[in-house]
Amino acid sequence: MPPFQPSSVLVDHALDKQIEEPAIAYADGEALPPVAPIRPLDRDHSILAFNERVLDWAIREDVPLLERLRYLCIVSSNLDEFFEVRAAAHLAAADGGDAKEGYSLQSFEVLAVKALDLVVRQYALYNDALTPAFAAHGIRILSHGERTGAQRRWVRAYFQREVRPLLIPVGLDPAHPFPQVANKSLNFIVRLRGGDAFGRENEIAIVKVPRVLPRIMRLPQQVAPKGMKFVSLSSIIRTHLAELFPGRQVCEFSQFRVTRHSDLAVDEEDVRNLRTALRQGLQHRHYGQAVRLEVSSGCSNFLADFLQTQFGLPSAALYRVHGPVNLVRLVQMVDLINEPELLFPPWRPAWPQRLSRSASIMADMRRRDLLIHQPFESFEGVVAFLREAVNDPQVLAIKQTIYRTGADSELMELLREAVRRGKEVTVVVELKARFDEEANINWAEALESIGAQVVYGVVGLKTHAKMLLVTRREGGRLRRYGHLSTGNYNPRTARLYTDLSYLTANAELTADMDAVFDHLANQNRVPRLRQLVMAPFGLHQFLLDKIDAVGRAAERGEGGRIVAKMNALTDEDLMHALLRAAQRGARVDLIVRGACILPARVPGVTDNIRVRSVIGRFLEHTRVFYFGSGAQEDLYLSSADWMNRNMLRRVELAWPVTDKKLRQRIIDECLVAYLHDDRDAWSLEPGGSYSRAPGALDGTGAQNALMARYAPVTLGGAARPQKVDA
């Protein structure tokens, strides 16, 4: 990684290397005529392009084998969520036969072709590369034909003992209609010959496979003494399928799996208790509208057509796969194989800089603001801050937002302990955090039951802001201590995601935090905030104004510079603002992990804009925004991506970093390091495709450089890559 430099030199110098073409020229100080608005890139296709970049980690031979399998499963999990959230609008338009807001039958078909290409590549990688690579290490998933007699006897005994008692085949007839099939569950469809017990020829049967059964089992050593041999649940059931239908002949069968729309739709204006309504909605999530059907590659047209009719799906929604239909469940193998050399070397986060291990963290905060760069530094610093507050008798009140904290959280247990110790505890719980609703409802009920004040934010908005505020009595007055973060209060994902935690005792900043908590509790007007910028009330316009100021400075010849790191850029207003600033002469570098709708490097339009995506061992999650207008430099951290929903339909926060040393550290580690990444970076091309950055795979990479910086003796990392978190 290049040497870290002072910010005024560093940011300019960094992009001098990134931008080879000259900036847009202006004659006689006059602005060029406005360019016709550029058409945004398609968001859904950009999401699929992101998953192609994730899949690349499964392809790379320099990645340990089990980690390659993990990345393959991550792509499958991401695709599941993509269909659960993004496909229903296309299908609704397809069913209606008319285009609506860019959705139509044609848009669904084009999207399906793109998704299918990615799925085909997944299974080709699994069958042609990963399976032989595992076999070379003595690791194999055995089919029925590959099992020895002893192994077949073990499998049969396992089927009779563990599997058969849980299976209830359903023969379809007027009294037994097609059963409810849960979202993403494993099932078999069977075509039978011969009559049933009553002489009727009901030829179709469905076998639902319970989720409680493990999908991969390791054969015991006594029947597989060499290497590691596994069997899949689907193979076990397929082998013994005929035993479920005595007296009849199985002539055709196939695995199948249906993906359903899973966004909870609750009319918040029309419910009296949002928590109760969401809990009821969770019961129906597994049975929403079908959006995708996966079947085995050998599934007959008859069975495939039958399933499509039952689920009301067009042909473009059918995916024939050359392997297990529930590919994501292969991730279980990672935990079943004890081969450390097939994993990333262990990564142990460093203790946060300037944070005392034994002395008071709040005393450290009184001296200066503190920063934790996760996962290179340990999230335990945040936990220690809360633990100190809970144990400190002078602490009177604790307030915290909860978006994604997990089902098993030490922080939530600490809040419960704070209540038991008589402190005033207020928790703002976001009940609509997608796919974390149940865990959040459970925590809300647990905290409320012992006396914590639990509120659910603002009707119609998601509370996505991440903040923790402690109020302490000191010398006859009250003093506040705050924690703000770009990421969630989840110790598990804090080991896997890159995020910034900001600890401060700044009176203005913590007073703003207190005002936001009051607003979330009583929904009164938000007072004028001094340092925090809050969505949906001002963040969007604030960013538009900042971008415009940079463009004006560039137009005046003073120099204009924007460097922004985020997870997604899909807000068209912000996209057009960046476009205008670049056309005025500002240089714009965007480090966008996932979806980006702004075409970069389009000749004559976005020449001054570069977009990079860095995919590494850790999931990139930090949001950092740098604005340089002449001599003025501003740096902000935020919980918000540049998406319309974050700006207008969520409670989000951004805050300035005014400490010069911390600001320089963030610029060095979160911006410059990623602009110079020559290993894991991809560049967005004008047409929407991504290409490897020059020199990729040959260099160090930003994440590895940061790991070396924080733990120079033990370079490595056992970080588990994760799916996309919104």
222-248 pLDDT per residue, tens: 999 999 999 999 999 999 999 999 988
Give pLDDT < 50 ranges for the chain: 1-33, 35-36, 264-275, 277-279, 281-282, 284-285, 433, 435, 713-726
What is the DSSP annotation of 656-673?
E---HHHHHHHIIIIIIH
Task: Please name which of 142, 161, 133 lies closest in space to residue 67, comparing C-alpha atoms.
Answer: 133
Give strand ranges (E) for 544-666: 560-566, 587-592, 609-614, 619-620, 624-629, 632-638, 650-656
Which letter, b or e, does each residue of 66-84 get, where b requires 16 or more Cβ atoms within 10 Å of its Cβ?
Answer: bbbbbbbbbbbbbbbbbbb
Q: What is the edge-to-edge ordering of all strands in the sheet holding 318-321?
A: 170-171, 204-208, 187-193, 249-260, 290-296, 318-321
pTM of the model: 0.88
Predicted confidence at residue 21, as pLDDT, reads 32
pLDDT at 343: 96
Catalytic residue among 45, 464, 483, 676: 464
pLDDT at 28: 39
For residue 535, the one-letter residue type is: A
What is the bridge-based pairing of β-strands 560-566 and 624-629?
A: antiparallel
pLDDT for res 275: 46
pLDDT at 596: 96
How many C-beta neighbours within 10 Å does residue 94 have? 21
* List of domains in the chain: 7-33+534-710 (3.30.870.10), 45-342 (3.30.1840.10), 361-531 (3.30.870.10)
Report the C-alpha gap between 140 and 154 in whole angstroms.
Answer: 17
Distant-in-sequence contacts of 224-227, Cβ < 8 A, 24+ apart: 224/151, 226/138, 227/137, 227/138, 227/139, 227/140
The verdict on whether 464 is a catalytic residue reads yes
Angle of CA points 415, 416, 419, to nearest 5°: 90
How many residues comprise the chain? 726
Contact assessment for residue 683 and residue 690, using Cβ atoms and an 8 Å cutoff: yes
Residues contacting residue 155 through CB under 8 Å, at least 6 positions apart: 144, 147, 231, 236, 239
SS3 content of the chain, % helix, strand, coil (to 5): 40, 20, 40
Pairing outcome for strands 609-614 and 587-592: parallel
